Amino acid sequence: MEPQGQGLGGRRSLQLPVTASPCTKVCLLDPAMQWCRGCGRTIGEIAEWGTATPERREVILAILPDRLVQMRSDDISPNSD
């Protein structure tokens, strides 16, 4: 068995930071926006998450708050009474 922190052949393995998924387990696609109502990602962004680089994940994470705000503001409609 090789010492911890070393990869095959005794070389140190590079430990990349793992960016946690923004998934909230509320997987429902907004029909108008085509964004997940739980996390704000598109189907494409959800599909690529597992293979995305840390940099790409950070780009995706950066746009989600605005999307979620936009979806929630679109849900609020004036009272018709």
Span 12-53, pLDDT tens digits: 656 656 789 999 999 999 999 999 999 999 999 999 999 999
Q: How far is CA 53 from CA 23, 29, 50, in A?
A: 17, 24, 9
Render pLDDT for 43-71 as a digit per residue (tens, 0 to 9): 999 999 999 999 999 999 999 999 999 99
pLDDT at 80 over 90: no
Domain coordinates in residue numbering, the chain: 16-75
Higher pLDDT, 59 or 80: 59
pTM beyond cutoff 0.75: no
